[in-house]
Amino acid sequence: MKAVDLGVIDYGTALDIQTLAHDLRAGSWDEDILFVLEHEPVLTMGRRGGHDDLLVTESELADRGVPLYRLSRGGKITCHYPGQLVAYPVIGMEKFQGDVPRFVTILEGVIIQTLADFEVQGGRIPEHRGVFVGTDKIASIGIEIRDRVTLHGISLNVREDLRLYRMFVPCGIRDKGVTFLEKVCPSGFPISMESVKASFLTHFARAFNEEIPDLMDKNSYEEQYLIAGVQVAASANPQSAGKVSDKTWI
C-alpha cells in the first residue's frame, strides 16, 4: 500500500487525483493507495442528498466562495474544511468479495481506534453510518465502488469550525449534532493534524493487514509513481480510459 499526503488542496484537484489513481488501480496497478489531506471549504452532495438539506441557496454558497459538488458516492450532504482530516482509500475490493458493508465497518473501526489514541470514545449508531461521540457525529463516510475499486472515503473533524455546518443538515440527520476532536479531547491532551494523520495511518494499515507505509508528498507521488503508471496503462490498453461500470454506493 502507498500513502500520499496531499496537504491542503481544493476539492476539484483532489477529485481528479483520486479518480486517476482509481482508474489505474482498476487497470494496470495492483497496489492500493491511501490519500490523506485537508480540503479548502466545500460542500459535497452524495446520491441520496437533496436541496431539502441545504439551509442556504446555491447563489449564497457562491457568494461565500463555497463550491457545491454533486457526487456518485453514497450518503447525503457533508462539508470539508482545513482542520478536518479527509482520507480517500483507493482499494481493490477483491479481498472483501464485494462485501461493501464490511469494508465500511472496517473504516469506522479505524476511526474509533484513532479517537481512542486521544482518549476519546467513539461509537456507532445502528441507523447511521459514520462515527459518533455520544449522539454527536465526529466522522462521516461516503463510498463509491466502481469497477471493483473504491472511491471517496471518510472525514474526521479535528479542529472546531461550525461555519460550514450552519449551511446544511449534516448527512441529513436532523436529531443529532456534530462535534470535533479538539472539543471532546481531554483538557491538555496534545492534538495536531500530523499526530491525527499518523494515528489514522497506523490503524488503517493494521486493519487492512498492511505494513505501515511512509507518507509521501504529492510531488513525490506524481514523479515516482503516477507518470509511470499512466504510461504503462496507456501502453497496455489505450481504449480503456474513462470506462465506467459496476457501481455500488454506501
Would you say 137 and 129 are in contact if contact means Cβ atoms under 8 Å apart? no
Give the domains, in start order, of the chain with CATH numbers. 2-249 (3.30.930.10)
pLDDT range class, residue 76, cuts 50, 70, 90: confident
Cα maximum dimension of the chain: 56
Query: pLDDT at position 168, please?
Result: 86
List CB contacts of 162: < 8 A, sequence separation 6 or more.
178
Looking at residues 107-123, what average pLDDT do you find? Answer: 97
Query: pLDDT at position 155, please?
Result: 96
Query: pLDDT at position 244, please?
Result: 33
Strand, coil or helix: 208: coil
List CB contacts of 26: < 8 A, sequence separation 6 or more.
92, 146, 147, 148, 149
Which residues form the catalytic set? 171
Residue-wise burial string across 149-173, b where 16 or more C-beta atoms lie within 10 A, e elsewhere: bbbbbbbbbbbebeebbebbebbbb
Q: Which residues pair with 177 in a beta bridge?
A: 136
Cβ count within 10 A of residue 175: 5
pLDDT digits (tens, 9 = 90+) for 143-202: 999 999 999 999 999 999 999 998 888 777 777 889 999 999 987 777 899 999 999 999
Mean pLDDT across the chain: 87
